[in-house]
Amino acid sequence: MYLMNPHTGSVALASDWAAEGYTPDNAELLPVSLPDVPDPVRLEAYGWALYGRSWKTAMAEDLGVDARRITHWVQSTRPVPSGVWSDLQKIAMQRLADVQDAAAGRL
């Protein structure tokens, strides 16, 4: 779950806030959904969830772009094209289906 500090506009995972000693009770943190967070945070969330540690390279391969483009998007030096979000959702759904098949022994 992502939480936002309404005073600063900072958005981070609840676990990241907790590691810094913040909780929704003591910092007035508000829950936000993934589509509502800034594009770089949203892109990194998809990256870690779908690919793990080497997410930029793997995401670039799946999206058919150069890995430097992912870095540009994360650094906000270039906008994330709107079609990327639907592509990432399709990739996530396919990975979910693959995991469900593996869990059910249907490899």
Q: Quote the mean pLDDT of the chain.
A: 86
Phi, psi of 82 (to 5 degrees): -60, -30
Orientation angle between helical segments 83-103 and 39-51, nearest 10 degrees: 20
Compute the average pLDDT of residues 98-106.
Answer: 92
Kindly give, in sequence order, each residue whose CB lies less than 8 Å from that of residue 25, ignoring residues fewer than 6 positions away. Answer: none
Residues 6 or more apart in contact with residue 81 via CB below 8 angstroms = none
Would the pTM of this model clear 0.85, i.e. be above it? no
Query: H helices within 1-107, ranges in order?
Result: 14-19, 24-27, 39-51, 55-63, 67-74, 83-103
Residue scoring higher pLDDT (58 or 9): 58
What pLDDT digit, counting tens, does each position of 33-51 carry? 777 778 888 898 888 889 9
What secondary structure does DSSP assign to 1-30, as a single string?
-EEE-TTT--EEEHHHHHHTT--HHHH--E
- 21 near 14, Cβ under 8 Å? no
